[in-house]
Amino acid sequence: MLLKDQVAMVTGAGQGIGKAIALALAREGADIAVLDIDRETAEATAREIRDTGRRVAINIADVSEVESV
């Protein structure tokens, strides 16, 4: 596991490339902070990450809005 004991925050992790990156990092041992604007897709990604045995936190925010982050 290349990323054992590491934490990664992935923006746009609810779907598409962001989701693929979050899952790949989890498979390499990282715990993941899922950041997305859509709660439903973020939670779906989080479930998949938990299935890998990694810890996950969900953050709902729009990175284009400073106040949101």
Q: Does residue 2 fall inside a structural domain?
A: no
- Confidence class for position 1, pLDDT limits 50, 70, 90: confident
Q: Does residue 25 fall inside a structural domain?
A: yes
State residue 64's pLDDT score.
87
Each residue's pLDDT tens digit, 3-58: 998 999 999 999 999 999 999 999 999 999 999 999 999 999 999 999 999 999 99
Torsion of CA 9, 14, 16, 19, to 10 degrees: 40
Domain at 29, CATH number: 3.40.50.720
Q: Does residue 67 fall inside a structural domain?
A: no
State residue 35's pLDDT score.
97
pTM of the entire structure?
0.91
Tokens coding 67: 């106040």
Q: Does residue 30 fall inside a structural domain?
A: yes
Q: What are phi and psi of 3, to 5 degrees?
A: -115, 25
Spatial distance between the Cα atoms of 38 and 40, rounded to a whole number of angstroms: 6
How many domains does the chain divide into? 1
